Amino acid sequence: MGRDARGRAPRDHAMAYDDVLPYLGDFGRYQKRVYLLLCLPAISCALHKLAGVFLQAKVDHRCRLPHEAHNASYALPAAQLNMSYPWDARAGNWSSCRRLDADFSARYYEEGVPSAAPSLPCDAWVYDRSKYSSSAVTEFNMVCNDAWLRALADSLFMVGVLLGSIIFGALSDRYGRRPIFFISLVMQVAVGLLAAAAPEYVSFTAARIVVGATTSGVFLVAYVIAMEMVGPSKRLFAGVVCQLFFTTGFILTALFAYFIDDWRMLQVALSLPGVVFLSYWWFIPESARWLLAQGRADEAKQLLLTAARENKVTIPEEVLDNLLPPAPGDKDKDEAAEQPRPSLLDLMRHSNLRRKALNIFFCWFVNSGTYYGLSWNTSNLGGNDYLNFFISGAVEVPAYSFLLLTLNRWGRKSILCGCMLVAGVALLLTLAVPSDMQWLVITLAMVGKLAITASYGTVYVFSAEQFPTVIRNVALGASSTSARVGGVLAPYINLLADYWQPLPLLIFGSLALAAGLLSLLLPETMNKKLPDTIQEGEQFGKAVADDDTCTDENMTDIDKNTVRVENGV
């Protein structure tokens, strides 16, 4: 066979990374090593995403009385409480936001003057520091009329996550996965430490927004590198296991907070582990898929040769020689360039596609809002905050294990619908629990968390298979935006617990139940031929032939077996 001026065999067609996988192996030793290293940063990202529960921990408080010192003790005798604070009938306790307008002299307490004086709003507070020595709430006085600032901080953190997924996602496509991963990592550590030193609410919240954005840059970019080198047969396993590392970070957040009860030191402790991942500069390569997409075939070839040596396999020379970008003037490229690029408007123009798209967007909104809402709501459930949070993370392990065993057996639709219905029913049942059975409320809430985690893990795969190939990435981007909106609103829903404790669970349960029922209207996708064009997408689900099975050629367009939980995109 003749060779060109650079010594390469003439090309019949340009080969992609998937053409090399049969020789390299779907999940060889090289892929396993890099994959494991890239999963570890998910732990650090989970620490930052979920730490708001403890950084902004809610604590009991009361008005500081005019005669009390700044370091006054929270506890007061019942008789003194009766003569210092009005009764809050809604809370069933002495008011924590108002005090009586009276002369709090020793004579006032000695003579037992009735508490008939008018009340005033607090101008200073005394906090119960028996559980948390400090939190951003106590330091910045995010209580009473300013309690909404706590929800705003969590909401803006999720806005940062959304912006990060857009900004860092675009930058990683343009400049490469590897440099954006390290830029995000450095920013996460640096700004995370700045958040610990924030002197007031605005700077603290601004720093947290940037940290939220970097969680997308670190976790998502690392996830993409990891998944781009894994073969199709292992993507379900690899996707789920990657999420289990996030769950590990979820659980560790409770342990960090249990042993570090000062919020500033906790923020430092959560940020410093990121320094370890800077050593990845010498261990983590660029994505071979991205290099090929950029026409940098020689660099991709060297990377694949390194992987082949570690996997102890040989990639035929002619296969490597054909790792070339499409030449200018290639017919396929020219024809593709002439085709108009589909947009979301194409989904909205067709009735069946529109119904499916709106249904899927709602599913993402509900799954994300409920997942983060339940994760951040543990302090409203009663009992031990640390234990509740720990269990809320631990239940994700059986949720993801369930997906590994059933997702390719029972079908996507049945799992998505069933899990959301279970979550909805469990959360709504908390309304019927007697007030003296708080343990049952916690149990039902954790069942709901387990179920919504499993449905969130299913919705990405199910959604990817619903949309036509030509618009799949755009549609999934819109789905991800819907999910972020749910995450942004979740803190405000949790804030309603200050008015009626069961209300957040009632809202999340109703949404999950509604989304579960609506998902029944979506067509099953397992073992079906997936749509490639807008026309096929419009017909998909209207009438599906029994022999419409998916083929390997059909499935190369998406990571069919990838599970991504929004913690992600």
Could you report the per-residue pLDDT of 124-165, keeping only the tens digit for each? 999 998 888 889 999 999 999 999 999 999 999 999 998 988
By three-state DSSP, how is residue 390 classified? helix
Can you tell me the distance from the alpha carbon of 306 to that of 132, in angstroms, rounded to the nearest whole number?
51
Q: What is the pLDDT of residue 4?
A: 42
Closest among 364, 365, 366, 392 to 378, alpha carbons compared: 392
Which DSSP category does 131 fall into? S
- 518 and 485 in a single domain? The answer is yes
Do 274 and 193 meet the contact criterion of CB atoms below 8 Å apart?
no
Is 336 a domain residue?
no
Domain membership of residue 337 (yes or no) is no
- pLDDT level of residue 553 (50, 70, 90 thresholds): very low
Q: Is the pLDDT of residue 221 over 90?
A: no
Numbers of helices and strands, H then E, in the chain: 27, 6
What does the block give as tokens for 33?
A: 């090593």
Residue that finishes a domain, picked among 324, 359, 386: 324
199 by Cβ neighbours in 10 Å (0-12 / 13-18 / 19+) ranks as: exposed
Q: Are residues 20 and 168 in the same domain?
A: yes
The CA distance from 225 to 285, in Å, is: 9
Report how far residue 105's alpha carbon sits from residue 80's, in angstroms, rounded to the nearest whole number. Answer: 12
Same domain, 17 and 98: no
Q: Please indicate, yes or no, whether residues 237 and 143 belong to a single structural domain of this protein.
A: yes
User: What are the tokens at 443?
Assistant: 């149990």
Give the end of a domain, one of 324, 357, 379: 324
> Residue 328: what residue type?
P
Q: pLDDT for 71-110, tens place per residue? A: 888 888 887 888 888 888 777 788 899 988 877 666 666 6
CA distances (Å), 62 to each of 59, 144, 151, in order? 10, 10, 20
- b/e string for 457-477 if b means 16 or more Cβ within 10 A? bbbbbbbbbbbbbbbbebbbe
Domain that holds residue 120: 61-128
- Is residue 169 located within the same domain as residue 53? yes
Residue 331 lies in a domain: no
Stretch (H or E) spanning 65: none
Strands 98-100 and 119-121: antiparallel
Closest CA to 458 of 370, 363, 355, 548: 363
* Residue 566 contacts residue 220 (beta carbons within 8 Å): no
CA atoms within 13 A on the CB side of 7: 2
The region that residue 527 occupies, defined by phi over 0 for left and psi between -120 and 50 for alpha, beta otherwise, is left
Half-sphere exposure of 228 (CA within 13 A, CB side): 24
d(CA 263, CA 391) in angstroms, rounded, equals: 22
Alpha-carbon torsion 347, 349, 352, 356, what sign?
Answer: positive
164 and 124 in one domain? no
Mean local confidence (pLDDT), 101-120: 67
CATH number at residue 499: 1.20.1250.20
Q: What does the mean pLDDT of the chain come to? A: 83
The answer as to whether 173 is a domain residue is yes
Q: 99: which DSSP letter?
A: E
Highest mean pLDDT among 454-468, 495-509, 515-529: 495-509
Rounded distance between C-alpha atoms, residue 568 and residue 443, angstroms: 27
Residues 300-316 have pLDDT tens digits of: 888 888 989 998 988 88
pLDDT for 554 beyond 70 = no
Percent of the chain at pLDDT > 90 equals 40
- 329-362 pLDDT, tens per residue? 555 544 544 556 666 777 788 888 888 889 999 9
- Domain-embedded: residue 133: no
Pairwise CA distance, residues 564 & 242, whole Å:
9
Average the pLDDT over 501-512 and give the result. 94
Find tokens 């009438």 and name the residue.
Answer: 543
Amino acid at 505: L
Kindly state whether residues 35 and 65 are assigned to the same domain.
no
Residue 289: inside a domain: yes
pLDDT at 276: 92
Of 122, 147, 120, whose CA–CA distance to 136 is shortest? Answer: 147
**Rounded Cα gap, residues 487 and 492, in angstroms:** 10
Position 394 in a domain: yes
Q: How many CB atoms lie within 10 A of CB 355?
A: 14
Residue 450 resides in a domain: yes
Q: Which residues are CB-neighbours of 448 under 8 A, at least 6 positions away?
A: 370, 374, 422, 423, 424, 426, 427, 505, 508, 509, 512
Q: How many independent structural domains does the chain possess? A: 3
E strands, 22-161, in order: 61-63, 87-88, 93-94, 98-100, 119-121, 125-127
- Which run of H or of E encompasses 221? helix 221-228
Q: Of 467, 464, 469, whose CA–CA distance to 339 is shortest?
A: 469
Query: Which single residue is written with the structure tokens 């090309």?
Result: 11
Whole-number pLDDT of residue 172: 83
**pTM greater than 0.85 (yes/no):** no
Query: Within this chain, do residues 226 and 151 fall inside the same structural domain, yes or no?
Result: yes
Average pLDDT over residues 282-302: 84
Q: 85, 100, 128 — which closes off a domain?
A: 128
Q: 164 and 282: one domain? A: yes
Same domain, 314 and 220: yes
- State whether 249 and 103 are in the same domain: no
Single out the residue of 211, 278, 210 nearest to residue 47, CA to CA: 211
One domain, residues 289 and 407: no
pLDDT at 232: 74
Q: Please provide residue 125's backbone torsions phi and psi, each rounded to the nearest 5 degrees.
A: -135, 155
